[in-house]
Amino acid sequence: MNSSKDVNEWIDEVLFEYSLQKNSCSSFKKDFAGYYSQELLSSAYYVVVDEIPLPTFLTEINVRFKEFLDLDTHGITYKDTYFIKGDHLTNKALHFHELVHVVQWRLLGAEDFIERYLGELDAYGYDEALLEKMAYGLQADYEERKVFNVENIVKGNL
């Protein structure tokens, strides 16, 4: 089974299913000025959900994915769209974090992002996965009010 292909197809189905519920991240123009380009914000989206859509079929492939899927996640990014639980809608740091993943998806492309993310989950677990560590590190810098261009930093660290 080609897990990245299966995941990519599943993601496309989920994004289609929620396509009418997408909100533009351009609403964060002031909050994220200096961090993200207007182009990125206007072409990235979020969907408010009660339950985060997760590819539960991955648990059949590897136990590490079950650990990941069992986390009480408040948000997850698929390509140019992230899903966020309604009770975390005003959490700007979470939006910031998920937008880091949007940048990663764009720079790596869907297949490469999926392969890398799943590989890192398998090798290191969620807390030590390099793509997650990058997002959490940049989120922490944002929370400390450091201003930097996220897209340039991610590009330089992939």
pTM: 0.92
In this predicted structure, the answer to whether residue 58 has a pLDDT above a threshold of 80 is: no
Predicted confidence (pLDDT) per residue in 43-55, tens digit: 999 999 999 998 8
First-residue to last-residue Cα distance in the chain: 27
Tell me the per-residue pLDDT of 2-36, one tens digit each, with 9 for 90 and over: 577 788 999 999 999 999 999 999 999 999 999 99
Could you read off the pLDDT of 64-99 as tens digits, one per residue? Answer: 676 777 777 899 999 999 999 999 999 999 999 999
pLDDT (tens digit per residue) in 104-137: 999 999 999 999 998 998 899 888 999 999 999 9
